[in-house]
């Protein structure tokens, strides 16, 4: 295993992301397989484990708590997240945090994150009524959180906004980063922004939920020796400000493959890096918007056309992608693609000759097929609250 320094810690480059654990037929977590994976991870030098309150409907925290308690607390770093990104009627950081400590059977978290600070959740995180960030800063003072950070799927403006307000308090940031999202979700720009803010980066979705684990034979031949997933992991490992690469492994074989990549780590050559970026372009099937904004001044509805095209491209790559869904659903109705009146004023201004009205129409048709973020959150919150209350009653 190879390691990166973070303050006085030495973190394994590969971290175990616990959101896609192996499942039984009834969709509960397969503990036996997870047990094997955690032991393999610990025996091969992985020391970073990343869970979150909603993962596997709350089972992820319970499972990792049960499995890691067999190890000396000093030998692993455990991270979890506060679910402020889930739309709810009200927020109670204290109740959730105390529940998380119990579920994970620990007295403190090494790393604690505000889960997905984004366009849809930033107001919740900053809302003084809920006392979210001050509460976690207090927990840090009390030693129950060793390092406080945040994860995000936000666009660049929202990320900058949050950093302006709370950048000084955030010790690390977790972003989606891989050779497609290097351009598709502005991974490169996000890395630059965070580096300038002096915030080290943790990466999630380095293999984009497994989507980058299948490449054409001809592409693979050009890339040379290595498993398909290894190229995606090595891509993320090329960037010095990226300290931890979290892979959401779902099987023992994936664990072995990923550990092997970091036990025999070889940086990518320039040729391999360029090849991966070329593959990413092919995968994106993107509308070639350069973001010049010549179109936006002409739009009578004031639509953020380049950002809507980004969302369109993202949906094309990953039809059920929740990141574009969250972005689109957070827009006020008069700024959604459905507000486009089809006047065509944008089209004549576009140097790339993009048929913007057609894109807006297609995107409007996609909208009802996207996951309904608010409904999903409501359902998840109700289930999580029911389980939390049950745990409280059981422990009385």
Q: Which residues sit at the interface with ligand SF4, rule CB under 6 A?
A: 289-295, 298-301, 303, 305-306, 309, 340-346, 349-350, 352, 354, 356-357, 360
CB 312, min distance to ligand SF4, A:
11
CB of 155 to ligand SF4, least distance (A): 15
Quick one: 63 exposed, middle or buried, by C-beta within 10 A (0-12, 13-18, 19+)? buried
Q: How far is the CB of 337 from ligand SF4 (least distance, A)?
A: 8
Provide the β-strand partners of residue 109.
145
Q: What are phi and psi of 256, to 5 degrees?
A: -65, -45
**Least CB distance to ligand SF4 at residue 366 (A):** 15
Phi, psi of 371, rounded to the nearest 5 degrees: -60, 135
Place of tokens 């969709």: 27
Q: Least distance (Å) from ligand SF4 to the CB of residue 357?
A: 4
CB nearer to ligand SF4: give 171 or 304: 304
d(CA 145, CA 139): 6
244 versus 295: smaller Cβ distance to ligand SF4: 295
Least separation, in Å, of the C-beta of 135 and ligand SF4? 41
Non-local CB neighbours of 26 within 8 Å, separated by 6+ positions: none
Q: Which is nearer to ligand SF4, 51 or 313 (CB)?
A: 313
Other C-beta atoms closer than 10 Å to the C-beta of 76 total 20
Q: With respect to ligand SF4, which residue has the nearer C-beta, 295 or 377?
A: 295
Rounded Cα distance between 360 and 308, Å, is: 8
DSSP state of 293: -
Nearest CB to ligand SF4, comparing residues 224 and 344:
344
Q: What is the C-alpha separation between 67 and 34, in angstroms, rounded?
A: 9
Residue nearer to ligand SF4 on the CB measure, 342 or 371: 342
């Amino acid at each position: 295993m190879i390691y990166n320094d973070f303050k006085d810690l030495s973190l394994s480059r590969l971290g175990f992301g616990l959101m896609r654990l192996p499942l039984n037929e009834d969709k509960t977590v397969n503990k036996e397989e997870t047990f094997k994976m955690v032991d393999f991870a610990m025996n091969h030098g992985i020391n970073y484990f990343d869970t979150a309150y909603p993962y596997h409907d709350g089972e992820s925290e319970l499972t990792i708590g049960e499995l890691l308690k067999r190890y000396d607390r000093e030998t692993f770093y455990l991270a979890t997240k506060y679910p402020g990104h889930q739309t709810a009627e009200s927020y109670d950081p204290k109740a959730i945090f105390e529940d998380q400590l119990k579920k994970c059977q620990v007295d403190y978290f090494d790393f604690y994150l505000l889960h997905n600070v984004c366009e849809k959740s930033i107001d919740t995180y900053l809302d003084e009524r809920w006392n979210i960030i001050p509460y976690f800063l207090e927990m840090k003072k009390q030693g129950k959180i060793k390092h406080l950070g945040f994860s995000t799927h936000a666009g660049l403006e929202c990320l900058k906004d949050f950093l302006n307000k709370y950048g000084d308090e955030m010790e690390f940031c977790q972003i989606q980063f891989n050779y497609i999202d290097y351009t598709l979700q502005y991974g490169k720009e996000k890395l630059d922004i965070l580096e300038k803010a002096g915030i080290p980066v943790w990466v999630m979705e380095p293999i984009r939920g497994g989507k980058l684990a299948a490449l054409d034979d001809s592409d693979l031949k050009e890339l040379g020796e290595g498993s398909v997933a290894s190229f995606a992991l090595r891509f993320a490992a090329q960037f010095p400000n990226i300290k931890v690469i979290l892979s959401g492994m779902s099987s023992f074989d994936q664990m072995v493959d990923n550990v092997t990549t970091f036990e025999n780590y070889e940086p990518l050559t320039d040729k391999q890096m360029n090849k991966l970026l070329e593959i990413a372009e092919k995968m994106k099937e993107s509308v070639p918007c350069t973001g010049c904004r010549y179109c936006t001044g002409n739009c009578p509805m004031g639509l953020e056309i380049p950002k809507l095209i980004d969302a369109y491209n993202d949906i094309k790559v990953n039809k059920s992608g929740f990141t574009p869904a969250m972005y689109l659903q957070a827009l006020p109705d008069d700024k959604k693609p459905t507000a486009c009146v089809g006047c065509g004023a944008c089209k004549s201004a576009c140097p790339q000759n993009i048929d913007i009205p057609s894109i807006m129409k297609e995107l409007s048709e996609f909208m009802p097929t996207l996951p309904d973020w608010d409904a999903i959150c409501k359902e998840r919150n109700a289930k999580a609250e029911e389980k939390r209350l049950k745990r409280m009653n059981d422990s009385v």
